[in-house]
């Protein structure tokens, strides 16, 4: 597994700052933590965490502290699968659905309120569900280049991490006009790589759906 120091080393090599005078290790470590956040904000699945969530009685549920958004709901921990349903469908078919209680069979989620979701029917008592949420890993502190701390994100995102860190590093001198072009070049590389991965994921999703439907993408 790639270590944080290895990524910092790659960045430092491109900065031509062998003794880390212009960009100290602590600063590069901050850039790394910022890069992880940037990747996960662009790709929430990069921070996916499979967890058991405790749900309270009633339809409205909130994600636990530190969880940014809901990615998927799998099942009641001790029971049936939970399937997604659009809120407008429930609003139309069951206008009073928030007051209907029983064993949950569906869940409602909207990106507009990323830390809130609803269960239907509403549970009468506390229940646990198996779900996938998005979390940003705790910030990492590196004090020397012998540190063996591994990155806490999939290695598929190593190159975007490096480009984001270089964008931040070269932006340090952007106020005076120096390195502005290099900063934007690395930001564009970051954006392009994230976009390419999104397009690839969409293509794979279409392929999977086509196979399910018995056709081709």
Per-residue pLDDT band for 172 (boundaries 50, 70, 90) equals confident
How does pLDDT run across 78-128, given as a tens digit for each residue? 999 999 999 999 999 999 999 999 999 999 999 999 999 999 999 999 999
DSSP state of 81: B
131, pLDDT greater than 80: yes
167, pLDDT greater than 50: yes
Q: Measure Cα distances from 150 to 20, 164, 169 in Å.
A: 21, 18, 22
Query: In 43-95, where does DSSP find H-type helix?
Result: 87-93
The arithmetic mean of pLDDT across residues 2-14, rounded, is: 97
Handedness of CA 69, 74, 76, 77 (dihedral sign): negative
Per-residue pLDDT band for 206 (boundaries 50, 70, 90) equals low
- Say how far apart CA 139 and CA 145 lie, in whole Å: 17
Domain coordinates in residue numbering, the chain: 4-45+137-211, 46-135
More confident residue, 118 or 182: 118
Query: What torsion do the CA atoms of 6, 12, 18, 24 make, to the nearest 10 degrees?
Result: -100
CA nearest to 157, candidates 137, 143, 173? 137
Residue 167 φ then ψ, to 5°: -60, -45
User: What percent of the chain shows pLDDT beyond 70?
Assistant: 88
More confident residue, 84 or 176: 84
Residue-averaged pLDDT of the chain:
91
Q: Are 107 and 119 in contact (CB under 8 A)?
A: yes
pLDDT in the model for residue 54: 98
66 φ/ψ sector (left φ>0, alpha ψ -120 to 50, else beta): left
pLDDT in the model for residue 21: 95
Q: Are 47 and 137 in contact (CB under 8 A)?
A: yes
The arithmetic mean of pLDDT across residues 18-30, rounded, is: 96
Rg (CA), the chain: 22
CA nearest to 84, candidates 102, 46, 47, 111? 111
24, pLDDT greater than 70: yes
The arithmetic mean of pLDDT across residues 26-34, rounded, is: 98
Q: Measure Cα distances from 190 to 23, 39, 162, 180 in Å.
A: 20, 9, 8, 15
The arithmetic mean of pLDDT across residues 34-57, rounded, is: 96
The arithmetic mean of pLDDT across residues 144-165, rounded, is: 96
- Say how far apart CA 130 and CA 104 lie, in whole Å: 13
More confident residue, 198 or 172: 172
Per-residue pLDDT band for 207 (boundaries 50, 70, 90) equals low
């Amino acid at each position: 597994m790639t270590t944080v120091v290895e990524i910092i080393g790659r960045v430092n090599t491109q900065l031509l700052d062998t003794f880390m005078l212009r960009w100290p290790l602590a600063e590069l470590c901050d850039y790394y933590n910022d890069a992880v956040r940037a990747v996960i904000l662009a790709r929430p699945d990069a921070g996916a965490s499979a967890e058991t969530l405790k749900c309270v009685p009633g339809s409205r549920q909130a994600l636990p502290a530190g969880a940014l958004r809901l990615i998927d709901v799998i099942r009641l921990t001790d029971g049936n699968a939970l399937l997604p349903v659009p809120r407008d469908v429930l609003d139309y078919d069951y206008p009073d659905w928030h007051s209907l209680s029983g064993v949950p069979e569906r869940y409602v989620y909207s990106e507009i309120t990323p830390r809130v979701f609803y269960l239907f029917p509403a549970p009468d008592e506390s229940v646990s569900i198996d779900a996938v949420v998005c979390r940003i890993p705790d910030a990492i502190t590196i004090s020397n280049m012998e540190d063996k701390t591994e990155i806490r994100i999939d290695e598929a995102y190593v190159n975007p991490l490096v480009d984001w860190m270089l964008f931040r590093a070269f932006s340090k001198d952007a106020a005076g006009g120096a390195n502005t072009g290099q900063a934007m070049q690395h930001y564009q590389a970051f954006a392009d790589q994230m976009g390419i991965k999104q397009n690839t994921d969409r293509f794979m999703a279409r392929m999977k759906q086509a196979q399910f439907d018995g056709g081709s993408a």
